[in-house]
Amino acid sequence: MSDKILIAGNWAIGEAAIRAGCRFYAGYPITPQNELTEYMAENMRRAQGGTFIQAESEIAAVNMVLGASSAGARAMTSSSSPGISLKQEGISALAADELPAVIVNMMRGGPGLGNILPSQGDYFQATRGGGHGDYRTLVLAPASVQELADLTMDAFDLADKYRNPVMILGDGMTGQMMEPVEFGKPRPRRYNEKYILKGAGDGKSKFVRALILDALRMEEHNWKLVRKYRVIEQNEVRFETYKTGNARLIIIAYGIAARIAKGAINRLRDSGMKVGLIRPITLWPFPAQIIRDTAERIDRFLVFEMSTGQMIDDVKLALEGRGHVSFYGRPGGVVPTPAELAKAIIQEYRRVLA
């Protein structure tokens, strides 16, 4: 038998992070991700050289991560929607300073305090940088607890590779849900020592800063970041396709919504309807090419999100006017059943046949 353990998503992130060599975690309590903070409290200080701090706010937590990252630690912070809004200052600074860090957002209903139920309302915030300035964060959207664990490990490697913050965008449900997990083998860290501040020794001192008062130099820094983002767009796009082969209608959904969509698709396939799924795993970079390519064969798309419609903008951008896109959304913490979604899909499918 395998070494699978039945474990909740929030714990899986914590365990995967520690296994991946995360040695600094700072967080501030907020539902529905408290289990992750608590897991780190319990286990981080046991890891050799591990630091756990319950910060006084999300702002403090992300800025501690900024410090720890510059000092060479694999560092992570986590929160849920309202707390992620507060972290934007630090995420923007990390991106500007080109420092690696992993930020977890287990999304809940919003805007404002909203509620503590699963939601996908922070897509725009996550994929457009979120804070101020011209920058991007890589955004990974896991749909199972196993994938939460795997992508958490990958997140640290990607953050190092591109010296950029990486966001894991889950939701209340993926955090609370339990599934069997087998933890992968972490890869050895590859991060150039020259980027670490640890005191100048006998050599030249270094500094890391985001303030660039000179317009031309600031512009050059902006373009430099963009060149890096282009490389990320080239190399790091991830997605899954499900029963798209002979499909006449394609559902596009990510995270937990994609799981519900799969359930709906299985039901519809049983009654002969040719429906498939494209599931973006990276939300930035967005898997635009596969959607564009699919549109060569299939011209009907239905975007399903647990929001009022955010990713649909990226789908439309990807399609550049091709095909026909419709939308089904349940914001606010409502989690539709596969049967409910199937009904919405059937309506759309009838139009395909018409």
Partner 1 sequence: MKKVFSRPRSLKSTPFHYCAGCGHSIIHRVICEVIDELGIRGITIGVPPAGCAVVAYNYFDVDMLEAPHGRGCAVATGIKRTLPDRVVFSYQGDGDLAAIGTAETFHAANRGENITVIFINNAVYGMTGGQMAPTTLLGQASTTSPPGRNAILDGHPIRMSEILSNLEGTAYIERVAVNSAQNILRAKKAVKKAFQCQIDGAGFNMIEVLSQCPTNWKMNAVDACRWVDEVMSKTFPIGVIKDTVKGRKDAD
Partner 2 sequence: MQIKTVFAGFGGQGVLMMGYSFAQAAMFEGFHVTYLPSYGVEVRGGTANCTVAVSNEEIASPVASQPDYLVVMNNPSLLTFQTRIAPGGAFFLNSSIITGRPKRSDVDIWEVPTAEIAAELGNPRVQNVVMMGAYVKMTRMVSPESYLKSLKSILGSKKKAAMEINRKAFEAGFNHIE
Q: Using a CB cutoff of 8 Å and minimum separation of 24, what contacts does 317-321 make? A: 317/288, 318/286, 318/287, 318/288, 318/289, 318/291, 318/292, 319/291, 319/292, 319/295, 320/292
Structure tokens that stand for 1 in this block: 């038998």
**What number of chain residues touch partner 1 (CB under 8 A)?**
40
The site map against partner 1 for 181-220 (x = CB under 8 A) is ----------------xxxxxx--xxxxxxx---------
- Identify which range of 129-137, 195-203, 259-267, 292-300 contacts partner 2 by CB under 8 A: 259-267
Burial annotation 157-187 (CB, 10 A radius, 16+ → b, else e) = bbbbbbbbbbbbbbbbbbbbbebebebeebe
Burial annotation 203-241 (CB, 10 A radius, 16+ → b, else e) = eeeeeeeeeeeeeeeeeebeeebeebbeebbeebbebbe
Q: Name the DSSP class of 253.
A: -
How far is the C-alpha of 149 from the C-alpha of 86, rounded, in Å? 25
Residue 260 lies near partner 2 (rule: CB under 8 A): yes
**What does 201 interact with, of partner 1, partner 2, none (CB < 5 to 8 A by kind)?**
partner 1
**What does 259 interact with, of partner 1, partner 2, none (CB < 5 to 8 A by kind)?**
partner 2
User: What are the helix (H) ranges across 71-106?
Assistant: 81-97
Structure tokens that stand for 64 in this block: 């501690």
The site map against partner 2 for 229-258 (x = CB under 8 A) is ---------------------------x--
**What does 340 interact with, of partner 2, partner 1, none (CB < 5 to 8 A by kind)?**
partner 2
**What does 275 interact with, of partner 2, partner 1, none (CB < 5 to 8 A by kind)?**
none
- From the CB of 137, what's the least distance to partner 1, in Å? 16
Residue 153 lies near partner 1 (rule: CB under 8 A): no
Q: Candidates 74, 163, 262, 279: give the one binding partner 2 (CB under 8 A).
A: 262
Q: Segment 20-79, which members bind partner 1 (CB under 8 A)? A: 23-24, 26, 51, 53, 55-57, 59-61, 63-73, 75
Residue 265 lies near partner 2 (rule: CB under 8 A): yes
Contact 148, 86 (CB under 8 A): no
Closest by CA to 286, choosing from 87, 126, 90, is 126
- From the CB of 63, what's the least distance to partner 1, in Å? 4
- From the CB of 337, what's the least distance to partner 2, in Å? 4
- From the CB of 284, what's the least distance to partner 2, in Å? 26
Burial class of residue 311 in the structure, from the number of CB atoms within 10 Å of its CB (0-12 exposed, 13-18 middle, 19+ buried):
buried
Q: Name the DSSP class of 186.
A: P
Instruction: State the first-to-last Cα distance of the chain, in angstroms, to the nearest integer.
Output: 50
90 vs 172, which CB is nearer to partner 2?
A: 172
Residue 59 lies near partner 2 (rule: CB under 8 A): no
53 vs 295, which CB is nearer to partner 1?
A: 53
Neighbours of 50 (CB within 10 A): 17
- From the CB of 1, what's the least distance to partner 2, in Å? 7
Residue 308 lies near partner 2 (rule: CB under 8 A): no
99 vs 268, which CB is nearer to partner 1?
A: 99
Q: Segment 21-40, which members bind partner 2 (CB under 8 A)? A: 31-32
> What angle, 0 to 180 degrees and rounded to 10, lies between the N-to-C axes of helices 81-97 and 58-70?
30
289 vs 337, which CB is nearer to partner 2?
A: 337
Residue 93 lies near partner 1 (rule: CB under 8 A): yes
How far is the C-alpha of 38 from the C-alpha of 245, rounded, in Å? 44
Distances (CA, A) of 180 to 155, 171, 172, 183: 20, 18, 18, 10
**What number of chain residues touch partner 2 (CB under 8 A)?**
29
Report the interface residues with partner 1, using CB under 8 A: 23-24, 26, 51, 53, 55-57, 59-61, 63-73, 75, 89-90, 93, 97, 197-202, 205-211
